[in-house]
Structure 1
Amino acid sequence: MKIALLSDIHANRQAFDACLAHARAQGAQQIALLGDLVGYGAAPRYVVQQAMALAAEGAHLVGGNHDAMAVRPPVAGERGAGSVVVQSADWTHGQLSAEERAFLAALPLTVEVGSVLLVHASADAPERWRYVDNPVVAADCLHAALQRPGIHHVFCGHVHRQMLYYRGSGHGLMRFVPTPGVAVPVPPHRPWVATVGSVGQPRDGDPRAMYALLDTAAWRLTFERVPYDHAGAAAAIRATGALSEFFAQRLEVGQ
């Protein structure tokens, strides 16, 4: 089976549509969304409605920190209150219907799919939103996942970059930087952690959207980059009149 893994969509309609179309063209038979459906971008209702439709068709979903903030934005006196991130959460909250907010609120923090664990942040404490951005945290994440019977691999989002961490001959994890579009062998007997990057807000200097495609028949993992109308997505942010110009600029430069 080919499973498309998309994370950190961030209310970016153009990038979400492009990645879904690309994944289906690659033969994806299953979709998994790894959190942060909303936040930063101009199309939260569209993205959540699409996610609800995918869930009804059998897609796997987990929640992210921006999804949680959209359900309940921080208020005065709480951490982050008044920041542009929280202003985005406030705006997103107002755009969503009660049904859509309830959908986000009900998203689990982890989902098991065969031998794979799906989680937005690190599996050792998903509710803390810890970034899996180095081998030490990746090792903590993998160790926690391996305590679950039958789990050998972990997919994460949150860091907006694509990376694979695997167990080599030593005690720690090795970091592997993938080449987009080039399949990587991921033998099922070797535990590993992958961060799939961000669909809606890449941060590596390349504005192309990111997702990953896992082929469980051949156990090969391909990290994909997908061109999309990032100028249109940036223009949509500006057209809201409420979201920060900074969010639009990030899409234009991929940073």
Structure 2
Amino acid sequence: MLIALLTDIHGNREAFDACRLEARRLGAEKFVYLGDLVGYGAEPSYIVDCVAEDVARGAISLMGNHDLAAVEGPSDYMNDAARSAIEWTARRLDKAQKDFLAAMPYMATTVGESGAETFYVHGDASAPERFIYVTGIDTAERSLNAVNAHVTFCGHVHRPQLYHVTPGKAPIFFAPTANLPTPLARSRRWLAVLGSVGQPRDGNPLASFALYDDLRGTLNFIRVNYDVNDAARKIFAAGLPEFLAERLFLGW
């Protein structure tokens, strides 16, 4: 099965629509959303409604820290721009949309056609409810040690990363190449940190998602062009912090 993995959409309708359309064009049979549907961007209601429709058709959608903040209020660690955006977002979500967010699980596990187990989470797999960032070998090792899945997928960092580990050895970082499928050897276990759909932070402004073929065992980090001008214009028009629009052009 070809699985489309989208994370950190952050209310960016233009990036979301472009990624979802491209995933379907490339043959995606199932969608998995790894959290942070909302926050930062100007169209949170649209994103939540679309994802809810996909979940009703069998998709998986997980809790992200911004989703939780939209329901329970911003956390102490949020910076001023994130706090302002999440407070704005919470005022624009209706009860049904907040109920959908509140019901999202923190993690999910599936078994693919090959029999391999896949684990999905927003941040570090060792503590899904704490939303810890996976940013290097140490945090990757902790996440990999927390589960026995052949592949673990997470987001939260907004920068694509790929790690693999063999028994008795430390994880190795592997820099993924965009739009080029990477074979995930069965002899290793893998941790894929996905890039952001709606707010990339790796210096590349193109929207980011991934396609995982769980039968062939390949992973493709996809980059997609989208209407950044329109997404930014809506952020300005909404009165959200201007920085949230400006950074879309920089991918940072």
Residue in 2 aligned with 1:176?
Answer: 174
Per-residue deviation, 1:17? 0.3
Q: Aligned to 1:84, which of 81, 86, 92?
A: 81
2:203 counterpart letter in structure 1: G
User: Aligned pair 1:11/2:11, yes or no?
Assistant: yes
- Do the aligned partners of 2:7 and 2:36 also contact (CA within 8 Å) in 1? yes
**Aligned counterparts of 1:179 and 1:60: Cα–Cα separation in 2:** 26
1:92 counterpart letter in structure 2: T
2:93 counterpart letter in structure 1: L
Per-residue deviation, 1:168? 4.6
How many residue pairs match? The answer is 247
Q: Aligned to 2:102, which of 93, 102, 105?
A: 105
2:83 counterpart letter in structure 1: V
User: Aligned pair 1:158/2:160, yes or no?
Assistant: no
**Aligned counterparts of 2:125 and 2:216: Cα–Cα separation in 1:** 25
Residue in 1 aligned with 2:216?
Answer: 218
- Do the aligned partners of 1:8 and 1:198 also contact (CA within 8 Å) in 2? yes
Residue in 2 aligned with 1:72?
Answer: 72
User: Aligned pair 1:137/2:139, yes or no?
Assistant: yes
Q: Aligned to 2:189, which of 188, 191, 198?
A: 191
**Aligned counterparts of 2:232 and 2:80: Cα–Cα separation in 1:** 20
**Aligned counterparts of 1:235 and 1:170: Cα–Cα separation in 2:** 51
Unaligned runs of 5+ in 2: 112-116
Residue in 2 aligned with 1:93?
Answer: 90
**Aligned counterparts of 2:185 and 2:103: Cα–Cα separation in 1:** 33
**Aligned counterparts of 1:117 and 1:16: Cα–Cα separation in 2:** 23
* 1:114-162, Cα deviation, whole Å (9 max, x unpaired): 100000000100111100111111111011112xxxx222000000011
Aligned-residue Cα RMSD (Å) equals 1.3
**Aligned counterparts of 2:59 and 2:141: Cα–Cα separation in 1:** 27
Report the CA distance shift for 1:185/1:81 in structure 2 as closer, same or farther (over 3 A): closer
Matches within 5 A, 1:199-214: 199-214=197-212
Per-residue deviation, 1:254? 0.8
1:157 counterpart letter in structure 2: G
- Do the aligned partners of 1:234 and 1:248 also contact (CA within 8 Å) in 2? yes
- Do the aligned partners of 2:159 and 2:196 also contact (CA within 8 Å) in 1? yes
Report the CA distance shift for 1:21/1:111 in structure 2 as closer, same or farther (over 3 A): same
**Aligned counterparts of 2:127 and 2:77: Cα–Cα separation in 1:** 21
Residue in 2 aligned with 1:246?
Answer: 243
**Aligned counterparts of 1:188 and 1:61: Cα–Cα separation in 2:** 26
SS of the equivalent of 1:156 reads: strand
Q: Aligned to 2:235, which of 234, 237, 243?
A: 237
2:228 counterpart letter in structure 1: H
Identity %: 45
- Do the aligned partners of 2:62 and 2:105 also contact (CA within 8 Å) in 1? yes
SS of the equivalent of 1:141 reads: helix
* 1:186-225, Cα deviation, whole Å (9 max, x unpaired): 0234211001110000011111000010011211110000
**Aligned counterparts of 1:183 and 1:48: Cα–Cα separation in 2:** 29
**Aligned counterparts of 2:230 and 2:187: Cα–Cα separation in 1:** 43
**Aligned counterparts of 2:77 and 2:209: Cα–Cα separation in 1:** 29
Per-residue deviation, 1:42? 0.2
**Aligned counterparts of 1:166 and 1:193: Cα–Cα separation in 2:** 6
SS of the equivalent of 1:158 reads: strand
Q: TM-score, normalised by structure 2?
A: 0.95
Report the CA distance shift for 1:200/1:99 in structure 2 as closer, same or farther (over 3 A): same
SS of the equivalent of 1:21 reads: helix
* 1:74-122, Cα deviation, whole Å (9 max, x unpaired): 3xxx624782211111110000001100110111000011100000000
Unaligned runs of 5+ in 1: none
